[in-house]
Structure 1
Amino acid sequence: MEDGDGFLFKFKGYYFYRKGIDIDFIENLDNFEIREDDVFIITYPKSGTVWLQQLLSLIYFEEHRRGTGKLQTVDQVPFFEYNFRQLDFGKRPSPRLFSTHLPYNLVPSGLKNKKGKIIYIYRNPKDVLCSYFHFGTNVILQVTSTFERFMEQFLEGRVIGSLWFDHIKGWYEHKSLFNIQFMMYEEINKDLRGSVLKICKFLGKELSEENIDAVMTKATFENMKYDPLANYDDIIKTAYGKNVKGHFLRKGTIGDWKNHMTVEQNERFDKIFQREMKDFPLKFIWDVNED
């Protein structure tokens, strides 16, 4: 193990958020016992994690759909490696739902035997970069540099989650080891109903039209942003302090990178993307008007 830039913690080549981890748990990730009906949301940071936590909570828990439940989504679908609620995962009833940013090589070995199910959400990396910059600046209060400098850190992989290119390629290239469904953030944004049905089919969950409608209503970005059970507002004040200016959920749009990146930055990013992602089969949507 080695120390990264103050708030980073590097383990087996991957950067964790130092304040949020239990080192003993991280060292023993491979031995975590996976159950057949475990479900993992896997994302690179700022790629729709909270949205999927909300969707899974709504799909699995009737009280969440009806608005009668009191548990926040982070308690229904806790972060795996950042267990800041100090939950005993072994005592959680099945099916257990988790969210994680882990790369393919650090997840428990049980998942590699196609035990459990994984939903991998990916988002166009320009919007990931811009969302990450705002999050680092206004929420975790760790980014004090310019957007230009943060872009360099992002492209070097010197951020929580390490290098975006490695994360998505690692998971895709090793998909045969896992029971995994890839979904695009922009696809969920453009076709929420179709995405909910796709997720339900993969998970083997059958919901009535009434329940699908309830999921749809509560899972819109605007409704979620103002839902105290889903928006993380009280959690970030507890975790990051009272000086937090921003929110976990900011815009949730497609193409916001156009409001941040200069022509030169965009050209540099495109050149690196084309080099790193040559022949990569998954498609990306860069603008809200793209099909």
Structure 2
Amino acid sequence: MLYVFCRYCIMEDLETDLLKFKGFYVHHKAFDNDFLENLDDFEIRDDDIFVVTYPKSGTIWAQQILSLIYFEEHRKRTENLETIHRVPFLEYSSGHIDFGKRPSPRLFVTHLPYYLVPRGLKDKKAKIVYIYRNPKDVMCSCFHYVNTYPIFKAVDTIEAFMKQFLEGKVVGGLWFDHVRGWYEHRNNFNIQFMMYEEMKKDLRSSVLKLCKFLGEDLSEETLDGVVKQASFENMKDDPLANNESTLYRNFGPKLREGHFLRKGTALWKI
């Protein structure tokens, strides 16, 4: 499952849990060699939409926002389908979803670096939204995440995890390389960068910015509904958007009280 991709393993022997694939750290148990080796040839449609993030940078939030923009049945709650199925992970859904049969526009999320995504994205027709977040908040979110679910090896202190994070020895690799790589190669793609902190500060303006890039013209009423349902507090209580059910199915009961969507705060003020 895609969530295995988010295992930030902190074992002393990294080789037992992490595998470096073309310079990018993945979890060896989740590694699908055939899929990743052939991902370069994945057929891209002109109207495909990809959200790219470093883990814990607003991925689940983006799934909810796109679901609200594109699916009226999601906004009106007339269909009981989780956002992870509406906007699946590219690299972790290949065995469960036939992407070729999905209607357009196809929506995806991914944590992949710029050099591992399908080459068809470089024709600049399909659209990419890259969401980046202050690395201090990313690291803090990752730390609490691995200490919540029993499938992960717990980390005693934030200092211990910080060392691992700053060395890039986590799934996703080095935060700085991921963000810099996409930004430095932005001219190769049809890409819109969005800052997590700006989204927190003014979600309405951020949704409007996103809709303009995607070519979606929402009515004022629809826009109001998207912004309201995509607020952190509403997402936290929404079983179709907060990933609690999916995490339970794959990871089992949590080690401690709390929610997958913990605080969603932005310590870095803009």
Q: Distance in 2 between matches of 1:129 and 1:203?
A: 30
Q: Distance in 1 between matches of 2:31 and 2:156?
A: 25
Q: Distance in 1 between matches of 2:68 and 2:218?
A: 11
Q: Distance in 2 between matches of 1:244 and 1:67?
A: 31
Partner residue in 2 for 1:120: 130
Match for residue 221 of structure 1 among 232, 236, 240: 232
Q: Distance in 2 between matches of 1:84 and 1:247?
A: 28
Match for residue 69 of structure 2 among 20, 44, 59: 59
TM-score (norm 1): 0.84
Structure 2 unpaired stretches of 5+: 1-12
TM-score (norm 2): 0.90
Partner residue in 1 for 2:260: 248
SS at match of 2:147: helix
Q: Distance in 1 between matches of 2:122 and 2:211?
A: 22
Partner residue in 1 for 2:169: 158
After superposition, the Cα gap between the structure-2 partners of 1:157 and 1:203, relative to the gap in structure 1 and judged at 3 Å, is same
Larger relative contact order, structure 1 or 2 (CA cutoff 8 Å, min sep 6): 2
Corresponding pairs, count: 256
Partner residue in 2 for 1:129: 139
Q: Is the 8 A contact 1:4 1:10 kept in 2?
A: no
Partner residue in 2 for 1:206: 217
Structure 1 unpaired stretches of 5+: 256-285
Query: How far is 1:43 from its partner?
Result: 0.3
- Establish whether residue 104 from structure 1 lines up as the match of residue 114 from structure 2: yes
- Establish whether residue 72 from structure 1 lines up as the match of residue 82 from structure 2: yes
Partner residue in 1 for 2:35: 25
Partner residue in 1 for 2:45: 35
After superposition, the Cα gap between the structure-2 partners of 1:4 and 1:86, relative to the gap in structure 1 and judged at 3 Å, is farther
Q: Distance in 2 between matches of 1:118 and 1:175?
A: 10
Q: Which 4+ runs in 1 deviate beyond 4 A?
A: none
Q: Deviations over 1:201-229 (max 9, x none)?
A: 00000111110011011100000011000
Partner residue in 1 for 2:98: 88
SS at match of 1:138: coil
Query: How far is 1:141 from its partner?
Result: 2.1
Partner residue in 2 for 1:272: none
Counterpart of 1:17 in structure 2: which amino acid? H
Partner residue in 2 for 1:144: 155
- Establish whether residue 238 from structure 1 lines up as the match of residue 249 from structure 2: yes
